[in-house]
Chain A
Amino acid sequence: MQLSSKLKHNLFLLLLVFLLIPGRVAAGEVDVKEIVFEHLGDSYEWHMTQWGEKEFVIHLPVIVKGKEKGWHIFSSARLAHGAEYEGFHIASEGEYKGKVVEINPAGDKVRPSLDISLTKNALALWINCIVLLCLILPLVNWYKKSTHTPPSGWKGAVEILMINIRDEVIKPCIGEDYKRFTPYLLTVFFFIFINNIMGLIPFFPGGANVTGNIAITLVLALCTFLAVNLTGTKEYWKEIFWPEVPVWLKLPAPIMPVIEIFGVFTKPFALMIRLFANIMAGHSVILGLICLIFITVSMGAAINTGMSILAVLFSVFMNFVEILVAYIQAYVFTLLSAVFIGLSKVKQETH
């Protein structure tokens, strides 16, 4: 059983190899940096694989509002290979490399005033959201039918995760007011966890670097920021603006309040960076290991074979680590969010 799952894993890795690299191997030089950065970034199409000359690409819709030309919706196929459509094209270099740009009347390349194209990450986000809903909503049906029998199989696993997070993280961190925040924190946990896991699947519906994208983690951190500060108690705000420290630390120069206010923003900021950096690093390492195989092609068969085996073994190891990280990061984000929310619920203490 274990062997077969390992085999499957290796198969995944091989697929990853075939999916991402062959086109570039044919071209000769392997630009690892570009491969990795292209994967970590976003794109207007979902490049799945290349078989010989035939490319398997999902062209996603580009939705932009030009500075003067207004709204445009068209397939990214029209912009493939540097083509221009209605004055828009994908910049191949410069500040906006890889993004849709338009040329303004002055002749400069500028970003459209709004670009809400359904990019690879956006599509992956929606797919993952659907996966998430498909994981959790069946439990609702289950409990509508039978209240006293616990669900089995994956439903049971989802339930265990849910109850575990609620009882071991949310309850102790927030305290008595935990019920208000449970839905948000559970959503955050499952959202991050599913996105992390889906990112580890190397082919189509998965494989996108969603939680390793700072826009995603920014929104999540912002939600936690709002949850913390919009529900903060009087005592919480008093501790920020008039903390219990010697008066000279508060007047005339408000040193402590400044530090405290700074802390209000650094907490969610740390959340944002932690998740983003962890997932991005995981993806980079695995991609780098796989690229080893193709870098060593030019060094002769023996080295190439050796390095290939090594790279696959390391990737297997890294993938296991990443599964762990997928859980841990979701857990840590939820835990810290709960802790921050709990800290904003301080009551008048009796010292």
Chain B
Amino acid sequence: MSLLIPDSGLLFWMTLSFGIVFFILAKFAFPVILKAVDQRNAYIKDSLQSAHEAEEKLAALHLQAEAILEKAQDERKTILHEAQETKKRIESEALQTAETEARMRLERAMAEIEESKRKALVEVRDQIVDISVKIAGKVVSEDLTRDKKQKELIDRLLQEEIIYKS
């Protein structure tokens, strides 16, 4: 059962080697490494946190931008709506004006026509009176012996009057 009895020589070497290894690792290795790892962890944590914050900020900005966009769209809609209304109004106004104008012009033309007609009628009547007076004068002054001759005379005079008039 020599396996169960610790050998003094090996005990010595084990104590020595383990002691040295422990001293080196505990003094120079583990504290440095663990400290560095902790620092790195803290750094990563911080970075993640700031990334998270930035993300949140970005999200907030997105929301803001969306709100602005929505507002702008609303405004655009209103403006378009208003423009449409204005357009309609202007159109209808223009139409109305045009109609009024047209009607007025028509009325004026009608009036003028009426006036001209009246004037023409007056003139015609005057001339007819003139012609009648002239014809009557001439008929009276002519020798009215023959009916045929009389008729021809009236025709000729009438013709003359019309040609003369025109």
A129 touching B21, Cβ below 8 Å: yes
Nearest B residue to A149 by beta-carbon distance?
B40
B7: contacting residue among A42, A132, A159, CB under 8 A? A42
Please measure, in the bound complex, the distance between the C-alpha atom of A41 and the C-alpha atom of B6, giving whole angstroms: 11
Please measure, in the bound complex, the distance between the C-alpha atom of A350 and the C-alpha atom of B21, giving whole angstroms: 41
Q: Is A296 an interface residue (CB 8 A)?
A: no
B20 touching A182, Cβ below 8 Å: no
Q: Is B34 an interface residue (CB 8 A)?
A: yes
Q: Is B33 an interface residue (CB 8 A)?
A: yes
Q: Is B164 an interface residue (CB 8 A)?
A: no
Interface residues on B, range: 20 to 34
Q: Is A76 an interface residue (CB 8 A)?
A: no
Q: Is B54 an interface residue (CB 8 A)?
A: no
Q: Is A121 an interface residue (CB 8 A)?
A: yes
Please measure, in the bound complex, the distance between the C-alpha atom of A191 and the C-alpha atom of B30, giving whole angstroms: 13
Q: Is B48 an interface residue (CB 8 A)?
A: no
B30 touching A159, Cβ below 8 Å: no
Q: Is A183 an interface residue (CB 8 A)?
A: yes
Known interface pairs A116-B8, A140-B28, A219-B15. Does A187 touch B37 (Cβ–Cβ under 8 Å)?
A: no
A119 touching B10, Cβ below 8 Å: yes
Interface string of A139-169 (1 = CB under 8 A from B): 1100110011010000000010011001000
A218: contacting residue among B3, B6, B24, B43, CB under 8 A? B6
Please measure, in the bound complex, the distance between the C-alpha atom of A203 and the C-alpha atom of B14, giving whole angstroms: 22
Nearest A residue to B36 by beta-carbon distance?
A143
Known interface pairs A41-B3, A162-B33, A182-B30. Does A136 touch B25 (Cβ–Cβ under 8 Å)?
A: yes
Considering only residues 89-142 of chain A, those with a C-beta below 8 Å from chain B are 97-98, 114-119, 121-122, 125-126, 129, 132-133, 136-137, 139-140
Chain A contact residues, majority secondary structure: helix
Residues of the A chain whose Cβ atoms lie less than 8 Å from the Cβ of B33: 136, 139-140, 143, 159, 162
Q: Is B5 an interface residue (CB 8 A)?
A: yes
Residues of the A chain whose Cβ atoms lie less than 8 Å from the Cβ of B21: 129, 132-133, 187, 191
Please measure, in the bound complex, the distance between the C-alpha atom of A119 and the C-alpha atom of B43, giving whole angstroms: 48
Please measure, in the bound complex, the distance between the C-alpha atom of A11 and the C-alpha atom of B49, giving whole angstroms: 51
A213: contacting residue among B10, B29, B37, CB under 8 A? B10
Known interface pairs A187-B26, A219-B18. Does A114 touch B32 (Cβ–Cβ under 8 Å)?
A: no
A144 touching B32, Cβ below 8 Å: yes
CB distance from B88 to the nearest CB of A (A): 68
Considering only residues 54-77 of chain B, those with a C-beta below 8 Å from chain A are none
Known interface pairs A136-B25, A147-B40, A214-B4. Does A119 touch B17 (Cβ–Cβ under 8 Å)?
A: no
**Can you name 11 A-B residue pairings with CB atoms under 8 Å?**
A37-B3, A41-B2, A42-B10, A98-B2, A121-B13, A125-B13, A132-B25, A133-B21, A140-B28, A140-B29, A148-B40
